[in-house]
Amino acid sequence: MKIKLAVLPGDGIGPEVVNVALDVTKAICSKFGHELSYEYALVGACAIDKVGNPFPDETYNLCKDSDAVLFGAVGDPKYDNNPSAKVRPEQGLLAMRKKLGLFANIRPITTFQSLVHKSPLKPEIVDGADFICIRELTGGLYFGRPQGRTEDGNTAYDTCVYSREEIERIVDLAFQYAMKRRKKVTIVDKANVLATSRLWREVSQEIAKRYPEVETEYTFVDNVAMQMIQWPKRFDVIVTENMFGDILTDEASVITGSMGMLASASVGLQTSLFEPIHGSYPQAAGKDIANPLATVLSAAMMFEHLGKQKEGTLIREAVNASMAAGVCTEDIATDGAKAYKTSEVGKWLVDYINK
């Protein structure tokens, strides 16, 4: 099989973790006889610095013409709390999602046996948690118009907008995932307050009728935020709008013990994109200490999305074996144990795959 990748390292620790995931991808392709080609492209703050655009046309064209996108992170402190900045790295991420039609973000939340003790929640609460968050990515407050400030600057406004079509495609996708799992979907909204949420609930009820085998529940976002901490094992597939999903998926990340362990896929109308859920973590950039496993697991999701289940399974096996062997970066290393460098973890994974 020929695989063409667009590689977008981005900012901060992005280049370090993406390099590890790319090395793992190369090892997998070599082992399974796939012909891999890849090309790097700019996105985020580094793209602003070089060409003045956080998602240049050249990057978009490369992504569009590739089989998949392997992405790191965007963000730079010099753009934070800087009202004079006319363009921000995060705008590149939003533009990428919109232009590529990446309407669904898939985030599996699973616990790792060797990491249960790292979770801030009690082991009996988190051990065995296994659910998927499906977040709508191209609508809602982040893309709604109008958006801005009044002339005096003292009032700001954003508009949350959703269409029936946007809701139908994301909710239907959630039911498709549930049919392959434990057949339960949780629709998350705020229908007691928001008009967009009432449309979400109305459309979701229509779609649920197509899947009578699936248990469907409708729950307010504040209630889900509470239950996710109290009873994370009760969930199977959670689907929600853009901002709610943004918040809930970060909350869910602590269940596993480290945000550095969670992979994600953004799928939609064109090329699908695979990325860790963590940000650019600029404080760690260049120090070779960032956890690359979320990005490596994103590469596993990429192979599985391309129909290569054995390849994805081997990557997951390598990740589990590395943790069992204690080959971990400082964020998940057992207290008192040696903390390995990002590059050392990458080399161990490649060696495991080769053997």
CA dist., res. 147 & res. 189, Å (int): 22
Residues 6 or more apart whose Cβ sits within 8 Å of residue 350: 23, 24, 27
**pTM of the complete model:** 0.89
Domains and CATH numbers, the chain: 1-102+268-355 (3.40.718.10), 120-256 (3.40.718.10)
Q: Please pick, among 246, 288, 341, 347, the residue that the annotation labels catalytic.
A: 246
User: What confidence score (pLDDT) does residue 116 get?
Assistant: 83
Summarize pLDDT for 253-284 with one digit per residue, the tens.
888 877 788 899 999 888 999 999 888 999 99
Is there a catalytic annotation at residue 250? yes
Residue 152 annotated to the active site: no
From the list 179, 95, 177, 178, the residue with the least C-alpha distance to 137 is: 95
Does the annotation mark 355 as catalytic? no
If 0-12 CB within 10 Å is exposed, 13-18 middle and 19+ buried, where does residue 339 land? middle
On the question of a cis peptide bond just before residue 276, with omega within 30 degrees of 0, the verdict is no
Q: Which of 57, 80, 222, 351 is catalytic?
A: 222
- Residue 57 tokens read as 């046309």
Assess whether 246 carries a catalytic annotation.
yes
Q: pLDDT for 154-213, tens place per residue?
A: 999 999 999 999 999 999 999 999 999 999 999 999 999 999 999 999 999 999 999 999
Distance CA 246, CA 82 (A): 22
Strand partners, 38: 5
For this structure, is 76 an active site residue? no
